[in-house]
Structure 1
Amino acid sequence: MILLVDDRPENILPLKKILELHSFSVDTAESGEEALKKILKTDYSVIILDVQMPDMDGYEVANAIAGFSKAKDTSIIFLSAVNTDKKFITKGYTSGGIDYLTKPADPDILVLKVKTFHKLYNQQQELRAAQVSLRKEIDVRKQAQDELAERMQELQVVLASLPQMAFSVAPDNRIEYVNKHWFHYATDSTTFPTTHPDDDFWNDWTNSLDSGTEFIREVRLKALATGAYVYHLLRIIPIYQQGVLTRWIGTFTDIHPQKQAAELLEQQVNLRTNELLIKNMELERINHELQQFTWVVSHDLREPLRKIQLLNDTIKTKYLSNNPEASAYLDRSIQSSARMANLIKDLLAYSELSVPEPFQPTNLTDLLKELLLDFDELISQKEAIVTVDSLPIIDAVPTRIRQVFQNLLSNALKFAKPDQPPAIHISAERVDSKAIDSTPSATGDFCRITVCDNGIGFDEKFLNRIFIIFQRLHSQTSYEGTGIGLSIVKKNIDKHHGIISAQSRVNEGARFIFVLPIKQASSIPANEAR
């Protein structure tokens, strides 16, 4: 804004119109006192000041304005029609004026001067604003540097207190700080300790520098005192401030005792593994020999037993038909021979479970249909009712899974109630996991099969005994058997990577539940892979 000061309105009006025509905002004052009051309230870029005014002339006004800090950048142009001598012009400049024009002033010259001084005023304001902004920025940066220095000092105190080697690295890979432990492995604070030739990590460290990511590596450092290489865990993490990487903080942690312990443990594990392999091979050899022995003994014992049974029958028929007491004793001998023959047969079947046979898709429904034909006579004799739901096709060894159903059906028929026909129900459903109580699922990977009967049942407190070989819950005089059947069932289920359990109460029947995979991961049964 431009301020025109003149005690005569007729002088102010034409100057104001001229300046407004050049897009200047113009304010006026008709006395020095009025001008000073306005200058205290408003910023003016140029003041055009008449020299000859009553009460307070232009020189006095200019001297007063010079004392105002608010107007220190304001340019004063004197206008005078009387005081045109050199001494008055000089007085105008010494009073704080920038220019001195005599009336009548050339309007074009006056406008050019006003434009120049107005532009100068704006530039000075911009410069002053820039100076203020720069001063603020300098203060902020100085404060930030002070805070950074304080934080760096705190960081160095923390690093100095660590039991590990600690250091900080600038973004340009220059080491800034190291603690006292550093000098156990390095001669100065500007270079990294010497590492083992096989532990070159500089390329990876360079990649971490470029990407600004954490770096972790096991390295061996050469100790200055002994010259030995000591295992350390090197960890260097980036420190960011407002998204800018400012430095890296690193530590070398001594892990030599742990490495030695791990190496010793690994040696012991390898030693024990080799010993176990040798023992396992020896065990397999002994087991193979035992299987052969069992098979040979079982096979060779069956022939003499058949001869004993045949001879006993011949003696009873030809020579003891008139001697009831001798026939009774001979019948007991024949029955004992029969029990021994069954025992040998079951032992032979149990030993044959170790013979490898591959899994193959097996239709359990068809398998059970064929199996029930073998039980047809016994089922008719006992007037049993056997119902079989639709069973799935699973990966199995057909002969072995047949043994499972054969023994379970045989038990269900054997342990029937004397006064009630046996009722046996076989069902299956897909489940989502290998668990007896698993949740049914149409797309599950396992099959849960249940064999229920209405027989005499058993007390569940004996559940952990029924699948152990030769364990019996009833006397031989009450129920025939060798105590091997459920052991064969359990072993077959194990070899199919399945599980089996049972639920029962005395005189309330029994439920045998087993869970098998639909698809086998291996083509060889469990415990048979070499």
Structure 2
Amino acid sequence: MNKIIKILIIEDNVIDADLLIRQLTKSGMSFISEVVDTRKTFEKSFELFGPDIILSDYSLPAFDAVTAFEIVKQSNLKIPFIIVSGTIGEENAVKLIKLGVTDFSSKENFPGLPQKVDRALKEAAEKQENEQLLEQLKIQTAALLLANQELEIQNAEKEKKAVELYNANKELLAFTFISSHDLQEPLRKIQVFISILMERESKKMSVAGKNNLERIAIAATRMRQLIQDLLNFSRVSTSEQQFEICDLSTIIEEVKYELTEEIRSKEAVIKIIDLVPVKIVVFQFRQLIYSLLSNALKFSISSAVPRIIIKSEILTNNDFNLLNLNYKGGKHDFWHLSIEDNGIGFEKQYNEMIFVIFKRLHQNEEYPGTGIGLAIVKKIVDNHNGIITADGKLNEGSVFNIYIPIQDVLNETIQNVNSKIIDVQISELD
């Protein structure tokens, strides 16, 4: 439905006003009109009538178009203003149009007036729409600038906090390293004096005294292990990362040698399958392998021969994505290492908890330890921008899966690796 146009006509000649209205009606325009001929009635019409367009004669006995147009401008009204006159002359009309009058029409050409009214209204509507869009744009721009300023402040604050956190973390790790290192000397002396007491004074002690001394010795040993584990955690967190291509075989052999006594006593079998090369920080992965293998030996079932399987492979990015591990480090192929055992395992609800530092699932009397080993493993994997998962079944074993993104092209190296299966029997350790 078209809007009814309100047309204000400034005219003292009733016949001319009537002709003007008839011509607009004849054109099919939908409008209502009001005719005024004095300044007072003209000014009142803005409030009482609210015109959409003004059609004004050039000169009236008590009023004129120039004065009317000045009133419109001073009132800051965005109303089209068309002069309809037979006496103004083309030169004066051009001057008024330059001052801002919308258009000019001669009374001798009333048939052309509806077209000019229609065009003036359309131009006014478009201008109003553009001004509204411009105003909205200004508001949005101001809001955007404000949001950008707030974002800059937030980013600056985050950067400041990140620097503070980084420095605090460095200081904390340095403190952990230094304090742990310095604690070892007095603890060593405590253990020496405990040994002296047990060797020289045990015959003079009561049974209760001997038991208490043995408890002190056990506590000192556990404290020494805890300090050593804290030092290892500090080294993993603060050390420089020098990556090298490695297939883990040398690392595994070194770890096996360190764990010779445990492997022999439990008659453990370690199987290594397809060690695919990867670019890693070697000394960190040595710690990782040591922690996982010693854990597998420690948490073995007493009635069964411990069996540990170590294998690695390359997963394409598509295959890795099928695992739904929520990796956000970019699109890569992945080196996958798994270490599986047939030990006591654990319930599924502890899959993530076991990587929390100092978090243990068993009592010290049952399985001694500090609860730092798997936290070190998790930290090492994080240092390689990788992911580690743990899956266990109570009394059936566990498997640790490590996924390291492949940053460099290793295809040529990988193709030259022959798949090997090595069964490690106790006889090999002798």
- Asked if 1 retains the 8 angstrom alpha-carbon contact of 2:351 and 2:392, the reply is no
- Asked if 2 retains the 8 angstrom alpha-carbon contact of 1:465 and 1:471, the reply is yes
Task: Decide which of 186, 189, 194 is 1:307's aligned counterpart.
Answer: 189
Which is helix-richer, 1 or 2? 2
1:447 matches 2:335 = yes
Task: Decide which of 127, 148, 152 is 1:266's aligned counterpart.
Answer: 148
1:46-445 aligned within 5 A: 179-184=123-128, 232=134, 254-323=136-205, 325=207, 326-355=209-238, 356-433=240-317, 434=320, 437=323, 445=333
Give 1:499 shift: 0.8
Give 1:291 shift: 1.3
Give the AA of the match of 1:321.
K
Give the AA of the match of 1:283.
L
Alignment correspondent of 1:500: 388
Give the AA of the match of 2:210.
S
Give the AA of the match of 2:231.
L
- Asked if 2 retains the 8 angstrom alpha-carbon contact of 1:431 and 1:438, the reply is no
Give 1:372 shift: 1.6
SS at match of 1:308: helix
SS at match of 1:512: strand
- Asked if 2 retains the 8 angstrom alpha-carbon contact of 1:361 and 1:393, the reply is yes
SS at match of 2:152: helix
Q: Which runs of 5+ in 1 are unaligned?
A: 1-175, 186-220, 224-229, 233-252, 522-530
Alignment correspondent of 2:33: none
Give 1:483 shift: 0.7
SS at match of 1:480: coil
- Output the CA distance in 1 between the equivalents of 2:382 and 2:296: 21
Q: Which runs of 5+ in 2 are unaligned?
A: 1-118, 326-331, 410-430
**Quick check: 427-436 or 271-280, which moved more?**
427-436
Give the AA of the match of 1:305.
L
SS at match of 1:321: helix
- Output the CA distance in 2 between the equivalents of 1:387 and 1:484: 26
Give the AA of the match of 2:291.
N
Q: Which has the larger radius of gyration?
A: 1
Give 1:184 shift: 4.8
SS at match of 1:255: helix
SS at match of 2:353: coil
Cα 1:383–1:322 change in 2 (3 A) is: farther
Give the AA of the match of 1:421.
V
Q: Answer 1 or 2: higher relative contact order, Cα 8 Å, separation at least 6.
A: 2
Give the AA of the match of 2:155.
T
SS at match of 1:418: coil
- Asked if 2 retains the 8 angstrom alpha-carbon contact of 1:385 and 1:424, the reply is yes
1:473-484 aligned within 5 A: 473-484=361-372
The alignment yields a C-alpha RMSD, in angstroms, of: 2.5
Give 1:300 shift: 0.9
Give 1:312 shift: 0.6
SS at match of 1:466: helix
Give the structure-2-normalised TM-score. Answer: 0.61
1:509 matches 2:389 = no
Percent sequence identity is 35
- Output the CA distance in 1 between the equivalents of 2:206 and 2:384: 52
Residue deviations 1:388-420 (CA, integer Å, cap 9, x gap): 112121111111111211111011000011111
